[in-house]
Chain A
Amino acid sequence: MMDFSPLILSLRLSMVSTVILLVLAAPLTYVLAYGRFRGKILVEALVGLPLVLPPTVLGFYLLLVLGPDGMIGGIWQAISGQPLLFTFIGIVIASMFHSLPYAVQPLRAAFEKIDPRLLETAAVLGCSPMAAFFRVVLPNARGGLVAAAVLAFAHTMGEFGVILMVGGSIPGKTRVASIAIYEYVEALRYHEAWQLSLALVVISYVVLLLVSYLNRGGRYGA
């Protein structure tokens, strides 16, 4: 009987990191899409960086930042008393950084499609920028939210290098499907590699079908 735990871990990781990522990426994208501030172009380039960096480079820096002496890892350790590296939470955070541009891009496209006069109307009607975000921008960017969720999810499902750097390969904790496949192949256990790979292919294909469907007919306001 095949061991499905890496696949289940991948699904759990993708779901958790996608949800948290959307919550953080949506306001960030709102600021990038509509805000006017110095250094915006620098922030934009920084957000896009994971698209072009080798996962090992990103993973290496995350290893430093999430480590006990790193900024995030240090704070986390001080609060919880637990390390971040080689834990599930650690790979959730790493995945979020890696998938950030995949969430920001569709969100931004959807936000920028919203008629700016709607935001002006909202302001005149008494909405603060934050109220306008919740009452006007988000409801009119549902298509973008779904696309962002799907892309971030799919990207995290297939992630390998960053997770290996930050999480290692601890069964049940950080040994996700892509890493398990790699190890099966290394151990010449092709049968298991085959099964797990096929499962990933099917899941990814279904996700992409969903994207196509949403782009064609299921969109709403974006």
Chain B
Amino acid sequence: MGLEIKLTQKLPNYELDVVLRCEPGRLLALVGPSGAGKTTIVRAVAGLAKPDQGFIALGPEVWYDSKASIWLPPQKRGLGYVFQEFTLFPHLTVEKNVAFAAVDKRRVGELLAMFGIGELAARRPQEISGGERQRVALAQALAREPKVLLLDEPFSALDIATRKQLQAELKELKASLNLPIIHVTHDLQEAMLLADDIVAIEAGRLSHSWLDRFLVHAHPAGAAGGRGVSSDKRTFLP
């Protein structure tokens, strides 16, 4: 079941206007400068902010349709959302955070082990490192067995070594998850490493030129050939 997103939203300096699609088992990276509208897109998908107009659906399940006045609240969408930081419940231990929305409580232990946080089970979020917290947040999101996974700059608050490690872990994990994943990042290298599809957003629009500029910097040889996308990633444009 693919995730289909069409939305327009008036923002202070420009209008966000995008059409995106993400198939199960694929990771779509949204890259672009800060304030380009990336987070606005994932917040709309999560149901945390209602766009002016548009359509969001997961397969036959319509989450938002401005024409038909359909708007499903976030709690009914069945998704996992990992924010940049500080979203674990401070009054709960790591284990209880992961179990917070677990569909199958027996899987909690399994997830703790999978993310290497089993030993932290009894600690509180304030007592563990930033990297550990993001692992817990990922485990928490997956425990609810989401139909879509949204990652909003999940590693950007981490030091570089931890970030690299978590990127590698996510890359491995991704293979086992058969769901659409949208990953917002301003780190193009992270996008190149993890994504199946990369879309650049600049001032609310899909932008080839932004991606080109950066890829020219990153891979000058490849850029000489044409559009500038030098890896096996392809930009996805509908």
Q: Are B86 and A126 in contact (CB under 8 A)?
A: no
Q: Which residues of B contact A135 (CB under 8 A)?
A: 100
Q: Which of B77, B83, B89, B140 has the most CB of A within 10 A?
A: B89
Q: Which residues of A contact B140 (CB under 8 A)?
A: 125
Q: Which residues of B contact A124 (CB under 8 A)?
A: 46-48, 74-75, 77, 79-81
Restricting to B71-128, which residues have a CB under 8 Å from any CB of A? 73-75, 77-81, 83, 86-92, 100-101
**Which A positions have Cβ atoms within 8 angstroms of B?**
115, 117-118, 120-128, 135-136, 139-140, 220-221
Q: Which residues of A contact B46 (CB under 8 A)?
A: 120, 124
**Is B144 positioned at the interface, with any CB of A under 8 Å from its CB?**
yes
7 A-B pairs with C-beta separation under 8 A: A118-B87, A120-B83, A124-B47, A124-B48, A124-B81, A125-B141, A139-B92
- Give 4 closest A-B pairs by Cβ, nearest first: A125-B101, A123-B74, A139-B91, A124-B81
Q: On chain B, which size bracket covers the interface?
A: 20 to 34
Docked Cα-Cα span, A115 to B46, in Å, equals: 18
Q: Which chain B residue has the least Cβ–Cβ distance from A120?
A: B48
Q: Are A123 and B47 in contact (CB under 8 A)?
A: yes
Docked Cα-Cα span, A36 to B69, in Å, equals: 20
Q: Which chain B residue has the least Cβ–Cβ distance from A127?
A: B75
Known: A115-B87, A117-B86, A120-B83. 7 other contacts (CB 8 A): A121-B87, A123-B47, A123-B73, A124-B81, A125-B101, A125-B140, A127-B101
Q: Are B78 and A126 in contact (CB under 8 A)?
A: yes
Q: Which residues of B contact A122 (CB under 8 A)?
A: 89
Residue from A123, A127, A221 within 8 A of B90 (CB atoms)? A221
Known: A117-B83, A120-B48, A121-B83. A126 touches B75 (CB 8 A): yes
Q: Are B89 and A118 in contact (CB under 8 A)?
A: yes
Q: Are B86 and A123 in contact (CB under 8 A)?
A: no
CB distance from B57 to the nearest CB of A (A): 18
Q: Are A126 and B144 in contact (CB under 8 A)?
A: yes
Docked Cα-Cα span, A135 to B90, in Å, equals: 12
Q: Which residues of A contact B81 (CB under 8 A)?
A: 120-121, 124
Q: Which residues of B contact A125 (CB under 8 A)?
A: 75, 100-101, 140-141, 144
Docked Cα-Cα span, A124 to B74, in Å, equals: 5
Question: CB-defined interface of B122-143 with A at 8 Å, one 1/0 digit per residue?
Answer: 0000000000000000001100
Docked Cα-Cα span, A140 to B75, in Å, equals: 20
Docked Cα-Cα span, A83 to B74, in Å, equals: 47
Docked Cα-Cα span, A69 to B148, in Å, equals: 58
